[in-house]
Structure 1
Amino acid sequence: MKSVKNEAMAISMLILASCGIIFFVDKVIMPVYLVKSIFKVITFIGIPAVYSVVTGKNLFKGLFSGKSGIIRPAALGIAIYILMIITFYLVAGFIDLENIRQRLSSNLDVERDNFIIVALYISIINSLIEEIFFRGIAFIRMKEVSGRAYSYVLSAGSFAAYHVAILEGWADMLIVILAIVGLFVSGLFFNYIDGYSQDIKFSYLVHMFANFAINTIGLHMYGFIDLPFL
């Protein structure tokens, strides 16, 4: 019992310390997006990999071997995509896309010329990294060694908190707060669907489509497409 409690504490510290590292990178080092992405891979994948080797507890085991298929998560992902585009239309008046474009350019060196590559990375690779870390390790692995409620809160809470440094300054404070709350609720939902399937394929596909929606708005922001009524 004591070893299980110690393992839960160790994984909790790993999750919180890793999020702290990324927050420090975002707010203090402020590297370009490529360097930031390398930091994220080292932190969210590398640190758990080292933990797995040192302790003999494989944090990545079985994260893709559950019972979720493709059809239902893809259908849900498409529904989430449509919902997020509709939500953007409703709050577009509170979001300054030009400010976001300038912040992406000055802080992360993301420009129109490299946006499509960045967008594909965010949707396909970055979503996978976040799902492995926040759902695979912070929820599925944590749930095995701690209470269900604690794993839900740790996973969803760290997922939302991790985005604070990213979203700060992107819109009015009220919109940012609503976005953080939305990310927490989304984290709880992702945990729920992964708790059913016991793998991360379901939440990964839904997360991917959510990022597709965000990047569709980015395509509009950079002039690749024209979203009507905006």
Structure 2
Amino acid sequence: MKNSKKVIYLSLVICISMYIIEQILNVNYFVKSTCKIVLFTLIPYLYIKIVKKKNIKNSLHLGKFQLKRLKLGLILGFCSFTIVIIGYIIFAKYIDTQNLVDQLNKIKVNKNNFIYIGLYIIFVNSFLEEFFFRGFIFLNIYEEGNKYMAYIYSSALFALYHMGMIKSWFNIYLIILCIISLMVIGIVFNYLNTKSKNFINSWIVHILADISIILIGFKILWN
């Protein structure tokens, strides 16, 4: 339990710091991404190395990586891709696309750099979030025996972390729907990782879901 509390306190500080950087300081995308890389990977790495006194590979069970255990991640990944696309088709008329474009322009995201930022989101940002929310938070708390806390806390923090980003995109009802959906996604991702003991499966799902979101972004920006 002692380790779980440390993980909870540290992850809260990290997420609050990211909220301040993104929403209050309102820095550009490059600065925000650099801060996220440091906060979501370096600090957890130092915690695992110094506090837990473990090798990062052993702590996250990356040495047990097996290709055959990725089947479920790939299946759910393609399902999530399809669901996001269908969801966009259904709810597109409720999205304030001009406001979304304006918000992207504020952080210097536009047609000229969207493809590079899209690749970053798909491969790097998805890794950062899976390493942090699933590899660092969920697995650390789960393996200490606090299974319900691990599921609820990590998925709730994952959902709330994204609220700052999407709060200006939709109306209040769609925001609530997004928060609930993100919590459910977080729980599913966590379950996937209990099967492999690492975050690779959920990372695959995250990548495929992000691909669908980036494709929607292309459609909105080039409309």
Give the secondary structure class of the aligned counterpart of 2:143: helix
- Per-residue Cα deviation, 1:103-148 (whole angstroms, up to 9, x for no partner): 1101x11011000100110011100110000011111121112410
Contact 1:194 1:200 in 2 (8 A): yes
Query: What is the aligned partner in structure 2 of residue 91 from structure 1?
Result: 91
Contact 1:112 1:222 in 2 (8 A): yes
- Per-residue Cα deviation, 1:4-61 (whole angstroms, up to 9, x for no partner): x221111111111111111111121111111100110111111112212321145652
Query: What is the aligned partner in structure 1 of residue 186 from structure 2?
Result: 187
In structure 1, C-alpha distance between the alignment counterparts of 2:50 and 2:81, rounded to whole Å:
40
Query: What is the aligned partner in structure 1 of residue 32 from structure 2?
Result: 36
- Per-residue Cα deviation, 1:154-180 (whole angstroms, up to 9, x for no partner): 110110011011111111111111111
Query: What is the aligned partner in structure 2 of residue 80 from structure 1?
Result: 80
In structure 2, C-alpha distance between the alignment counterparts of 1:50 and 1:146, rounded to whole Å:
23
* One-letter amino acid of the structure 1 residue matched with residue 148 of structure 2: A
Unpaired runs of 5+ residues, structure 2, are none
Contact 1:63 1:132 in 2 (8 A): no
CA RMSD in angstroms, aligned pairs only? 1.6
1:5-154 aligned at under 5 Å gives the runs 5-55=1-51, 56-58=53-55, 61-64=59-62, 65-67=64-66, 69-106=69-106, 108-154=107-153
In structure 2, C-alpha distance between the alignment counterparts of 1:157 and 1:148, rounded to whole Å:
14
Superposed displacement of residue 76, structure 1? 2.1
In structure 2, C-alpha distance between the alignment counterparts of 1:217 and 1:113, rounded to whole Å:
16
Superposed displacement of residue 74, structure 1? 2.0
In structure 2, C-alpha distance between the alignment counterparts of 1:70 and 1:169, rounded to whole Å:
35
Give the secondary structure class of the aligned counterpart of 1:110: coil
Contact 1:33 1:109 in 2 (8 A): yes
Q: Percent identity?
A: 29
In structure 2, C-alpha distance between the alignment counterparts of 1:137 and 1:157, rounded to whole Å:
15
Contact 1:59 1:137 in 2 (8 A): no
In structure 1, C-alpha distance between the alignment counterparts of 2:9 and 2:98, rounded to whole Å:
38
Query: What is the aligned partner in structure 1 of residue 172 from structure 2?
Result: 173
Contact 1:8 1:146 in 2 (8 A): no
In structure 1, C-alpha distance between the alignment counterparts of 2:61 and 2:126, rounded to whole Å:
14
TM-score by length of 2: 0.93
* Residues paired across the two proteins, number: 219
1:150-229 aligned at under 5 Å gives the runs 150-223=149-222
